[in-house]
Chain A
Amino acid sequence: MLARINSYALNGLDGYGVTVEVDIHAGLPAFDVVGLPDAAVKESRERVRSAIKNCGYDFSPRKITVNLAPAYTKKEGPIFDLAIALGILCSTEQAGVDMHLKPLDAVREYAFLGELSLSGAVTRINGVMPMLISARERGVKKIVIPRANANEAKYIHGIDVYAVETLKDAVKLINGEVAMPLEKSDISIGGSVDCGEDLKYVKGQYSAKRALEIAAAGGHNILMIGAPGGGKTMLAKCLSGILPDMTEREILETTKIHSVAGILDCEKGIVASRPFRSPHHTASRVSLTGGGAAAKPGEISFAHNGVLFLDELPEYPRSVLEILRQPLEDGVVSVSRASRSVEYPANFMLVASMNPCPCGYYGSQVHECSCSTSQIQKYMSRISGPLLDRIDLHIQVDEVNYDDLTSDVEAESSACVKERVNAARELQNKRYAGTTVHSNADMTSAMIKKYCVLDGAGEKILQAAFDKLGMSARAYTRILKVARTIADLCGAPDISAKHVAEAVMYRALDKAVK
């Protein structure tokens, strides 16, 4: 007998319906899966066989053919296990039939997702959230998922989701037993962020802390330059604590990517605080942008709506850094492979740190630098102009002296800073409502012209800064954007000379070129 079970699959972040057809007929005992399955799908034969047997059902040797339709797309992963097992049970008339062995309608109402363990338990799968969103858009009404994925599913409204723990639970559903769908809840915005570091424990470094606040408020990319041991990494880690709260749109966007990649926290179910990704400098290009045969998302997409922290920037291979340029500009990365082409959002804030020279101590008050001028130039030139061009703030982070380290003065806490950052972001959200831009850093040229108008005094001080400090022309728009954010932090509607003057201070590299 032929059985059809609905299931669902993903291509990038978009889903599509898959019908699992199981046919059992006479012939030499065999168990074949067709429809471009990958290794994990082929292995599901073994899992399905054991799961059926261990749940107390019959699995006698027969010729079984499983087709995953549409047959022309590649199927990946173990998500069809549950549907295949149910298909076999239905076609052997062990499930989904009434007492007269007539097929029930219930089986056609549901779509089934889930991996099976040998014992028959339904275990966690990746990509549940994007699949649910996509299934809802395609009119699927009821969907069955593993209990372990229930937390991420409860935030998707407009579709009935049933969580099962074992194969037997799923059988009950298709036998027509009435079950309660998952209770939905709303995404709560804000709340505490459990991050490792708090700004109040950072001694001194007032200028750097202020620059971080500005970067967080306007979504600006920031580069920290300083000797080893200056606290660059600690400052970067503090950033998570002061980033503005995510909006519901941002939470859903980021969670979808994390869900697909399988890095979502099962307990939380959603990414409620901005992601902070810090790939090591041995990271490959594909690991950053995404790719592979399956065109999976990479680190820059994991950092979507959050922070991509590159510690020791010049240590990254040039080819790896250069690929960041296009996503930094467009906020998306298009991963194209022979079999498919997928677009992943990658609107991240780049936070980078580096030493000023190969030995690390150029300009240090404490240690002596042993590098020649050409060595320093060579080291700095590892970071290309076009990449630096996309970094709005560069700051010097110097070593902390002993007195500061031991002082008891407690600095402002991350929570206080976050309040100001949230207020500034609120202003920006209002200003850019209805556009694709969400922060000052993403402003288009037209917006800069509209929102970054300088008064006479501001114009004058910017002119003087260019003359005096020998700044490059590309610094101009960067300074304007940063000045806009500084004004937002003050709650000022217009940019004044003071805001421009402060913004000029965060262009350490432009000043060094002199």
Chain B
Amino acid sequence: MLMSDLYLWLSYSHVPTAKINKILQKMSPTALWDAFAEESKYILDDKTFNALKRTRNVEYIERAKQYLETNNIKYVTRADPIYPSLLMQSEVNPPPVLYYKGKIEIARDPCIAVVGTRRASQYGRYVTDRIVRELAGAFTVVSGLAAGIDGFAHTAALNAGGNTVAVLGSGIFHASPSSNLRLFDEICKSGLVLSEYPPDVHASEYTFPQRNRLISGLSKGVLVVEAAERSGSLITANCALEQGRDVFAVMGDVDKTRSVGTNKLIKDGAVPVTCAADILEYYSVSAKKSEPKTVALDFTEQRVLDELSAGERSFDGLTEACGLTAAELNTALSALIIYGLVHEKAKNLYCVS
């Protein structure tokens, strides 16, 4: 038996990863397979024993391999050199097999996880977009394909032409939520979708917290953008601490429920982050600088840009400050947005990009 087939056997037995890793501390996969009936009885409970026994069948494993191949799902086992090395740490509780679609090699590049609430505010969306766009030049962006911040992080990374990894809490056939399925397809094409579960496994309330340990495990650090007091992204932050990863958090208003979690993380020692440079400097990485665009601005556009350089302004505020009519201001703002010099931060609120 090949080592990789043995790991596939362990994965397909659906025995929880933690239990498998406990067994593997005592005996190697080869030993477990060879001397299954005699020795393992003493160290396995009945349920685990039966589960492993059911799938301990060369034909069954061959069939599983064929099934994966026909469905175009690739896998990497702990025996393979391409298996992401950061996951091998025992605190991460490395899964025997990772099933994936896309480019597995990007998971070995330096990664940063970007996570946050599913109920993102417009502020969260804006901040994610802004930070991830810059981070994507230097890091692979890891997240969990959930609605809200996760989805925005993947999208921003793709838009910036960077690499992104989506770690699923289910088998690849049952990716959720449905609102992110188009994003899922895009990541399969130009990024990496990863799961520790065989493709047919449905998500459950236990699989999502498990998935979080892989998100942090793959990454050097975890950035929490927005999180309420009890949020799944705080589980990811905890995993990161256990695994010795860095935790970054975006500061938010003290009275916003969606920032309670992140502000608490900062109080507890997380690195406060206001821009991508904070993370890049922390790791002494320099992002690929995009050359400053030189655009010929006309008088009103320049005036609006100067006014915005002093800080964000609302539309009404700008009208009064620049002494322009709504028509003139809309024309100037539209041009500045199209040139990429100004950003509509929230509705009718503008700032310099």
**Interface positions of A (Cβ within 8 A of B):** 204-207, 209-210, 225-226, 356, 362-363, 365, 368-374, 377, 396, 398, 401, 404, 461, 464-465, 468-469, 486, 489, 498-499, 501-502, 504-506, 508, 511
Q: How far is the CB of B21 from chain A (nearest CB, A)?
A: 35
Is A502 within 8 A of B327, CB to CB? yes
A-B contact pairs, 10 of them (CB 8 A): A207-B330, A210-B325, A363-B346, A368-B121, A369-B121, A396-B348, A486-B327, A502-B330, A504-B334, A505-B330
A370 to B121, alpha carbons, bound, how many Å?
9
Q: Which 10 A-B pairs have the closest CB atoms?
A: A210-B326, A396-B347, A206-B326, A363-B122, A501-B334, A204-B316, A373-B147, A372-B119, A505-B330, A502-B331
A173 to B337, alpha carbons, bound, how many Å?
75
Given contacts A369-B121, A501-B331, A502-B331, list 5 more A-B pairs with CB under 8 A.
A207-B326, A398-B347, A498-B331, A502-B327, A505-B331
A177 to B326, alpha carbons, bound, how many Å?
66
Is B119 within 8 A of A371, CB to CB? yes
Is B119 within 8 A of A370, CB to CB? yes
Q: How far is the CB of B339 from chain A (nearest CB, A)?
A: 8
Is B319 within 8 A of A206, CB to CB? yes
- For B172, the chain A residues whose CB sits under 8 A away are none
Q: How far is the CB of B263 from chain A (nearest CB, A)?
A: 14
- For B335, the chain A residues whose CB sits under 8 A away are 461, 501
- For B256, the chain A residues whose CB sits under 8 A away are 368
**Provided the pairs A204-B316, A207-B315, A368-B256 are in contact, do residues A508 and B347 lie with their beta carbons within 8 angstroms?**
yes
A501 to B337, alpha carbons, bound, how many Å?
10
B333 at the A interface (CB under 8 A): yes
**Provided the pairs A368-B258, A468-B338, A501-B334 are in contact, do residues A362 and B121 lie with their beta carbons within 8 angstroms?**
yes
Is B326 within 8 A of A209, CB to CB? yes
B120 at the A interface (CB under 8 A): yes
Is B316 within 8 A of A368, CB to CB? no
- For A461, the chain B residues whose CB sits under 8 A away are 335, 338
Instruction: Determine which residue in A365, A401, A461 has the highest number of CB atoms from chain B within 10 A of its CB, and name it.
Output: A365
Is A504 within 8 A of B338, CB to CB? yes
A468 to B331, alpha carbons, bound, how many Å?
16
> C-beta contact mask, B240-272 vs A, less than 8 Å → 1, else 0?
000000000000000011100000000000000
**Provided the pairs A206-B319, A365-B346, A368-B257 are in contact, do residues A373 and B338 lie with their beta carbons within 8 angstroms?**
no
**Provided the pairs A363-B347, A398-B314, A502-B327 are in contact, do residues A468 and B340 lie with their beta carbons within 8 angstroms?**
yes
Give the total number of A-B pairs whose CB atoms are below 8 A apart.
Answer: 96
Q: How far is the CB of A217 from chain B (nearest CB, A)?
A: 12
Is A469 within 8 A of B337, CB to CB? yes
**Provided the pairs A365-B346, A404-B316 are in contact, do residues A373 and B329 lie with their beta carbons within 8 angstroms?**
no
- For B65, the chain A residues whose CB sits under 8 A away are none
- For A362, the chain B residues whose CB sits under 8 A away are 121-122
- For B31, the chain A residues whose CB sits under 8 A away are none
Instruction: Determine which residue in B118, B120, B179, B338 has the highest number of CB atoms from chain A within 10 A of its CB, and name it.
Output: B338
Q: How far is the CB of B156 from chain A (nearest CB, A)?
A: 11
- For B348, the chain A residues whose CB sits under 8 A away are 207, 396, 398
> C-beta contact mask, B285-329 vs A, less than 8 Å → 1, else 0?
000000000000000000000000000001110010000011101
For chain B residues 107-166, which have a beta carbon within 8 Å of chain A? 118-122, 147-148, 151
Is A468 within 8 A of B316, CB to CB? no
Could you say which of A205, A206, A374, A465 contacts B179, with CB atoms under 8 Å apart? A374
Q: How far is the CB of B347 from chain A (nearest CB, A)?
A: 4
- For B120, the chain A residues whose CB sits under 8 A away are 373
Is B349 within 8 A of A372, CB to CB? no
- For A404, the chain B residues whose CB sits under 8 A away are 316
Q: How far is the CB of A198 from chain B (nearest CB, A)?
A: 17
**Interface positions of B (Cβ within 8 A of A):** 118-122, 147-148, 151, 177, 179, 256-258, 314-316, 319, 325-327, 329-331, 333-335, 337-340, 344, 346-349
Is A206 within 8 A of B315, CB to CB? yes
Q: How far is the CB of B37 from chain A (nearest CB, A)?
A: 50
Could you say which of B147, B327, B340, B344 contacts A210, with CB atoms under 8 Å apart? B327
- For A468, the chain B residues whose CB sits under 8 A away are 337-338, 340
- For A369, the chain B residues whose CB sits under 8 A away are 121-122
Could you say which of B177, B314, B316 contacts A374, with CB atoms under 8 Å apart? B177
A134 to B257, alpha carbons, bound, how many Å?
67
| Residue ID in chain B nearest A377 by CB atoms | B179
A225 to B119, alpha carbons, bound, how many Å?
20
| Residue ID in chain B nearest A362 by CB atoms | B122
A396 to B119, alpha carbons, bound, how many Å?
21
| Residue ID in chain A nearest B340 by CB atoms | A468
- For A398, the chain B residues whose CB sits under 8 A away are 314-315, 347-349
Q: How far is the CB of B143 from chain A (nearest CB, A)?
A: 14
| Residue ID in chain B nearest A486 by CB atoms | B327
| Residue ID in chain A nearest B348 by CB atoms | A398
- For B122, the chain A residues whose CB sits under 8 A away are 362-363, 369
- For A368, the chain B residues whose CB sits under 8 A away are 121, 256-258
A501 to B298, alpha carbons, bound, how many Å?
13
Is B147 within 8 A of A372, CB to CB? yes
A206 to B322, alpha carbons, bound, how many Å?
13
- For A489, the chain B residues whose CB sits under 8 A away are 327
Q: How far is the CB of B185 from chain A (nearest CB, A)?
A: 17
- For B118, the chain A residues whose CB sits under 8 A away are 372-373
A207 to B349, alpha carbons, bound, how many Å?
12
Q: How far is the CB of B351 from chain A (nearest CB, A)?
A: 13
Is B330 within 8 A of A210, CB to CB? yes
A159 to B119, alpha carbons, bound, how many Å?
68
A372 to B228, alpha carbons, bound, how many Å?
12
- For A511, the chain B residues whose CB sits under 8 A away are 344
- For A356, the chain B residues whose CB sits under 8 A away are 347
Q: How far is the CB of B203 from chain A (nearest CB, A)?
A: 16
Q: How far is the CB of B226 from chain A (nearest CB, A)?
A: 11
- For B346, the chain A residues whose CB sits under 8 A away are 363, 365
A460 to B142, alpha carbons, bound, how many Å?
36
A514 to B329, alpha carbons, bound, how many Å?
23
- For A206, the chain B residues whose CB sits under 8 A away are 315-316, 319, 325-326, 329
Is A373 within 8 A of B179, CB to CB? yes
- For B179, the chain A residues whose CB sits under 8 A away are 373-374, 377
A207 to B347, alpha carbons, bound, how many Å?
12
Is A373 within 8 A of B148, CB to CB? yes
A398 to B348, alpha carbons, bound, how many Å?
7
Q: How far is the CB of A367 from chain B (nearest CB, A)?
A: 10
Q: How far is the CB of B222 from chain A (nearest CB, A)?
A: 21
Q: How far is the CB of A398 from chain B (nearest CB, A)?
A: 5
Q: How far is the CB of A416 from chain B (nearest CB, A)?
A: 12
Q: How far is the CB of B57 from chain A (nearest CB, A)?
A: 42
- For A377, the chain B residues whose CB sits under 8 A away are 179
A205 to B329, alpha carbons, bound, how many Å?
13
Q: How far is the CB of A488 from chain B (nearest CB, A)?
A: 13
